[in-house]
Amino acid sequence: MKKILISLLCLISLLPCLQAQDVYLFATFREPQQDGLFLASSKDGYHWESLGGPYNTPGVGADKIMRDPSIIQGPDGTFHMVWTCSWSHDKGFGYASSKDLIHWTPSQYIEVMKDEPATVNTWAPELFYDDMKKEFIILWASTIPFRFEKGQEAEDNNHRVYYTTTKDFVKFSPTKLFLDPKFSVIDCVILKRAKKDYVLILKDNTRPERNIKVAFGKSPLGPFTKPSAAFTPHFTEGPTVTKVGNDYLVYFEYYKDKKYGAMKTRDFKTFTDLTDSVTLPKGHKHGTIFKVSAKFYNALLTQTKSH
């Protein structure tokens, strides 16, 4: 009896920790792309449920669409979101912020490629917070014809990745080249594992490849090592990564087969295919995964029911 009481007391003492477990949220969009921001949630990082939407609508850019939403929570608790707002003829992307993921500031158009008049597109902006410099890094892919060497792809599909930094989303540093791996590259995601230990996940967008690779660096802005061999099949894109326990889960989209996949790794050198072990809502498109507290999640659920 004494052992049972001790066990019960131990379990009770753990309940606050269990209840306070973070929840994973997945920012996504739906076809048609004009609808806006959708969300999915997961408590284990493997099985996802739709939270519906849209929670924010686009309204900026030439095409006024919302693709590839990237959301990150800043140190002050504010959520910042950037997204692709046009397929082509745009030199910028959309931006908005929110305290609760329900009420957003008016959409703004951030014209990061205004000094490059030949720019064809501005795709898949991705947010990263540099906790060493206390600033946000924004990456995106653009094509500037005849600027770089290319493979089989056309000049208007020969991408490189660029970046800008900001502390307040009002003032931005001059746009600079982030990555030129000597091939067409899009969909870059930065992951910090430890001090001076960063992983870059990227899509090799060349015609023979169209798959996802990794590189390593000591700084979020590089330089990075030569990209690895692909760890996903052909026709995959839109990676996002989150840590579950001791594992990193890299989610990505099989855009030709219209389904979602995932890989598990601890070192980004060996990968286990989890595609048959994860579940996502029907119509889920690629975006980013981020974590929120259980308290925030419960408040979000209350608001989504009345949204």
Domain ranges of the chain: 21-306
Q: What is the pTM of this model?
A: 0.92
Q: DSSP character for 104?
A: B
In whole angstroms, give the CA distance from residue 66 to residue 39.
13
Helix (H) or strand (E) run with residue 68 in it: strand 67-73
**pLDDT surpassing 50 at residue 299:** yes
**Per-chain mean pLDDT for the chain:** 93
Ramachandran region, residue 209 (left: φ > 0; alpha: ψ -120 to 50; beta: rest): alpha
pLDDT, tens only, 200-218: 999 999 999 999 999 999 9
What pLDDT, on a 0 to 100 scale, did the predictor assign at position 16?
Answer: 43
Separation in Å, CA 42 to CA 19, 198, 264, 281: 14, 25, 16, 11
**pLDDT surpassing 60 at residue 173:** yes
Helix (H, G, I), strand (E, B) or coil at 296: helix
Q: Can you read off the two tokens belonging to residue 283?
A: 């119509």
What pLDDT, on a 0 to 100 scale, did the predictor assign at position 303?
Answer: 85
Q: How many CA atoms lie within 13 A of 47 on its CB side?
A: 3
Helix (H, G, I), strand (E, B) or coil at 198: strand
In whole angstroms, give the CA distance from residue 213 to residue 50.
28
CATH class of 21-306: mainly beta
In whole angstroms, give the CA distance from residue 184 to residue 143.
9
What pLDDT, on a 0 to 100 scale, did the predictor assign at position 14?
Answer: 41
What pLDDT, on a 0 to 100 scale, did the predictor assign at position 306?
Answer: 58
What pLDDT, on a 0 to 100 scale, did the predictor assign at position 305?
Answer: 67
**pLDDT surpassing 70 at residue 48:** yes
Number of Cβ within 10 Å of residue 121's Cβ equals 22
**pLDDT surpassing 80 at residue 155:** yes
Cβ atoms of 58 and 66 closer than 8 Å: yes
What pLDDT, on a 0 to 100 scale, did the predictor assign at position 304?
Answer: 77
**pLDDT surpassing 50 at residue 189:** yes
Separation in Å, CA 270 to CA 170, 234, 242, 290: 41, 18, 16, 23
Q: Can you read off the two tokens belonging to residue 114?
A: 């205004």
**pLDDT surpassing 80 at residue 257:** yes
**Residue 62, Cβ density class (10 Å: 0-12 exposed, 13-18 middle, ≥19 buried):** middle
In whole angstroms, give the CA distance from residue 76 to residue 64.
29
